[in-house]
Amino acid sequence: SAVISQKPSRDICQRGTSLTIQCQVDSQVTMMFWYRQQPGQSLTLIATANQGSEATYESGFVIDKFPISRPNLTFSTLTVSNMSPEDSSIYLCSVEQGNEQFFGPGTRLTVL
């Protein structure tokens, strides 16, 4: 299975600022996914990122708030823009390999 790392592992940010989360995979993958997991909740898909094309966002998520980059087949970034306390969550990237989905360790974000 793919080995996925994320940076930072956690951060505490001030309201109104932005944070960019990095996701690195140890092998080339076509599709990468970004999820949000609010405290005590399940995982909600934010967007799907394919290399060389615009990310596809799920209902309730917009590019201005969560811009995504996918410069190559092993790397992606998610930016959480103009943060508010409601953005406090765990952000997870994942990849698909062979009809199975594997997750990174997550980035725990707290917005004050």
Interaction of residue 106 with another protein, rule CB under 8 A: yes
Which member of 11, 22, 24, 43 binds another protein (CB under 8 A)? 43
Restricting to residues 56-95, name those near another protein by CB under 8 A.
Answer: 58-60, 92, 94
Of 11-19, 43-51, 66-74, 79-87: span binding another protein (CB under 8 A): 43-51
Please identify, using beta-carbon distances, which residue of 106 and 109 lies nearer to another protein. 106
H/E stretch holding 108: strand 107-111
